[in-house]
Structure 1
Amino acid sequence: MDLAVILSQINNFRVHSEIKDYNISDFFDAVMEKIDKLKKLNHSEKEQLLDTLFAFLNNHNPELEEDFSFIHLIESIDKPNYTIYSKKLLENNIKRPSLTSVLLLNRYINSLHGKAWGKAVVVVRKVVENIKKTTFMTEDTLNYCEYQIK
């Protein structure tokens, strides 16, 4: 299986009201297994995969429950330096934060120190401003953001 097939599968996967949480986890666990079989991804392939995974978040309800199979998958793509992932994560949270993307942002910020932490907190402030302008985000999401600001 090549990356194009995996990307297509992710693009075509839709979460709907009848789907069970374990079906979502099973799907992303299977995706991770397929990616692991590809061995090492180059920079461009990592970008494509991360773009597709963030598009998945953006194509669903922002209050879609966090799925840790998805979270572990997206966090694993750009190990160990996370340069592609961190840039896309910050951009995604500025443009269209969701429960999952804010949780990812919180997890990412917890690993930062110094100037990198400060830059990420600026993004968190923008996220909080955007969230307060809408009603779709839960109190938990605001708490993640406010925790990082303090």
Structure 2
Amino acid sequence: MGIEEIISRIAVFSPDEDAEDYEISEFFDEIRENVHKLGGLSEEEQRRLIKALFRYIRKRDSEEDENFSLIHFIEQIDKSLFDIYYIELFEFNRNHGAITSVLLLNRFVNTLDGKEWENGVALLKSIADNPEYPILVKEGAKSFYEFQMGK
């Protein structure tokens, strides 16, 4: 399976509300295995894959519980420098915020320091204060913001 088919499968994956967590996990575990079989991705392929995964998060209910197979997968794609992931993660949270993306943001903020940490914490605060975001997303961001400030 090539990168085009992988991205296409992510694009059409749409579990219904009755889907079990394990079914979603199995899907992302299979996708991760297929990416691994490719033996490495170019920067452009990484960018496209990360964007596809954020599009998946975007089309789901923003208050849907996080899926750790998806979370671990997306965090590993650009793990050497996080150049692509960082930009997409912050951009997504500025515009769309979801329980999963806020958790991803907090996990990433845990790896930062200095000005970058401040920017991440400020983004958590802005999500918590954004009246357009669902209450559970705002509450999650507030909790992570308070955690970060207490460190």
What TM-score range do you get, normalising by the shorter chain?
over 0.9
Q: Which residue of 1 aligns with 2:41?
A: 41
Range moving further from structure 2, 10-19 or 114-123 = 114-123
Question: Structure 1 vs Structure 2: percent identity of aligned residues?
Answer: 36
Going from structure 1 to structure 2, the CA distance change for 1:15 and 1:146 (only over 3 Å counts) comes to: farther
TM-score (norm 1): 0.93
Supply the distance in 2 between the matched residues of 1:72 and 1:149 (Cα, whole angstroms). Answer: 25
Q: Which residue of 1 aligns with 2:99?
A: 99
Q: Which residue of 1 aligns with 2:60?
A: 60
Alpha carbon RMSD of aligned pairs, Å?
1.5
Q: Deviations over 1:15-48 (max 9, x none)?
A: 2111110000000000000000011111110110
> Could you tell me which amino acid in structure 1 is paired with residue 29 of structure 2?
D
Deviation of 1:146 (Å): 3.0
Supply the distance in 1 between the matched residues of 2:145 and 2:24 (Cα, whole angstroms). Answer: 26
> Could you tell me which amino acid in structure 1 is paired with residue 58 of structure 2?
N
Deviation of 1:133 (Å): 4.2
Question: Any unmatched runs of 5+ in structure 2?
Answer: none
Please say if 1:85 is aligned against 2:56: no
What SS does the corresponding residue of 1:105 show, helix, strand or coil? helix
Question: Any unmatched runs of 5+ in structure 1?
Answer: none
Please say if 1:113 is aligned against 2:113: yes
Supply the distance in 2 between the matched residues of 1:142 and 1:60 (Cα, whole angstroms). Answer: 21
Supply the distance in 1 between the matched residues of 2:124 and 2:144 (Cα, whole angstroms). Answer: 9
Supply the distance in 2 between the matched residues of 1:100 and 1:128 (Cα, whole angstroms). Answer: 14
Q: Which residue of 2 aligns with 1:14?
A: 14
Please say if 1:137 is aligned against 2:144: no
> Could you tell me which amino acid in structure 2 is paired with residue 12 of structure 1?
V
Deviation of 1:149 (Å): 4.2
